[in-house]
Amino acid sequence: MTATTAIGLALSPARVFAQASGPGPEMSALSAYMSAAASRALPAEAAEHAKHHLLDTLASMISGSELIPGQAALRYIRSHAGKGTATIAGSALTAAPIDAALANGVMAHADETDDSHNASRSHPGAAVVPAALATGEEFGIDGVHFLRAVTLGYDIGTRVVMAMGGFEFSYEIALTDIKKWTVGSPIQGPLDAVDAIRGKRPFDADQVQRVTVRLAPSVAAVVDNRDIPDICLQHMIAVMLLDKTVSFHAAHDKPRMQDRPLCASARK
């Protein structure tokens, strides 16, 4: 007999009934907030942010469809998905909503191009937009309600991670970053810094003797000498030094991690 079973048997019928009588006040408040979102007008600033994040995530899906994870998602749709009318980004395929949301989510997060929310340390766009797009197509919602659904997803998704409490209310979509460089979030600032320094005083990679990057310990381990180019801080700084920019192709060129000039710059 498990501990759970023993506890269940020890409860009186009245007690068991009381536990199953309905949701608590927290879930009731959350459910009411979510159900009212369809009729709740967005502030102009939040709606504008929602449009930007929608386009940014769609672009992430399309670019991700050409990478290995995206190709795997497309193979899954071709081989296993049932019939449906939901769009699969970067292809002419359609699928049932749950399969479309899965495939588009995989493609959106395939290449570290998708947005990021610092406070929750999450990537909300890759989860929210594919789900909203698939269900929106299924139920035929209009653009206004679609933007409200996306904004709601950013609010709820990030706040669940942040434990849904103790925070002053804001539309979390306005606090989510759209990436300038197609690399992991902790590398954005260091690349910006190198780019800004070079903008004020041009230099070549062979003139650099040493590079020092300081990151918070909580994020440094995520990007320290990784074997994936777009989340390897040392490699991406070396790319910036040599190429004087970081392109999408350079951020996903794994064979180049063995390039001698790049390895030499990365050791700095």
- Do 129 and 151 contact (CB within 8 A), yes or no? no
What would the mean pLDDT of 217-232 be, rounded to a whole number? Answer: 91
Is residue 41 assigned to a domain? yes
Same domain, 130 and 35: yes
Give Rg (Cα) of the chain: 23
Contact 20, 143 (CB under 8 A): no
| Residue 4: per-residue pLDDT | 35
Decide which of 149, 175, 201 is a domain's last residue: 175
Q: How far apart are CA 198 and CA 129, in angstroms?
A: 36
Q: 137 and 47 in one domain?
A: yes
> Are 198 and 151 contained in the same domain?
no
Domain that holds residue 256: 185-266
Residue where one domain finishes, among candidates 140, 175, 210: 175
Calculate mean pLDDT across residues 164-171: 57
Asked if residue 65 and residue 129 are part of one domain, the reply reads yes
On the question of pLDDT at 17 being above 50, the answer is: no
Show which of 175, 200, 220 is a domain's final residue: 175
CATH, residue 53: 1.10.4100.10
Are both 62 and 164 inside the same structural domain? yes
- 86's enclosing H/E stretch is strand 86-87
| pTM (2 d.p.) | 0.69
